[in-house]
Amino acid sequence: MKTMWAPWRIEYILADKQDGCVFCKALSVQDELTLFKGRQTMVVMNKYPYINGHLLVAPVRHVSALHELDRDEMGQLLSTVEQSIGVLKKVMRPEGFNVGLNLGKVAGAGIEEHLHFHLVPRWSGDTNALAVFADVHVIPQHLKETFNNLKPHFEAITP
């Protein structure tokens, strides 16, 4: 039997589960995974990513559906998605992206009360038998190292 190490997961396993919206909390405190806080949008790293560089782009305003956004917020949200893809391309050089929006729990929304896009960089061969047969994802770089590589590029984005 082979052992796979994911030492950052113990923090989640042992931590008290908090109530409230993770995005709203990330706006109000200095969060270690928040890459960008703008006037209308924010970018945070997924704490339990599918792969390195898995980002979440959300509106600042706490809404759960697209129709709740005004036109300016909608435009800014998509602009932030585009800028985030640009940063990921520059820093991580992925070969493609999965960009998704899960609306409602049955659609896969883990945080259904606060609308957010998933940006998942992809490389040839990044999915293997572990993901297919064992529902295990191998993350080759520590989250904090990925954060440190991305953060300076997000600081250059004008809010």
- Asked whether 153 and 91 are in contact (CB, 8 A), the reply is yes
The closest of 149, 152, 146 to 46, measured between CA atoms, is 146
Q: Is the pLDDT of residue 44 over 80?
A: yes
CATH of 17-155, one of 3.90.180.10, 3.30.420.240, 3.30.428.10, 3.50.50.60: 3.30.428.10
Domain range summary for the chain, segments of one domain joined by +:
17-155
| Average pLDDT rounded to a whole number, residues 41-58 | 89
Residue 102: per-residue pLDDT: 83
Residue 130: per-residue pLDDT: 43
Helix (H, G, I), strand (E, B) or coil at 43: strand
Residue 69: per-residue pLDDT: 94
Question: Model pTM?
Answer: 0.74
- The one catalytic residue in 54, 62, 67, 116 is 116
Rounding to the nearest 10 degrees, give the CA dihedral for residues 82, 85, 89, 91. 120
Residue 116 a catalytic site member: yes
The enclosing H or E element of 90 equals helix 71-92
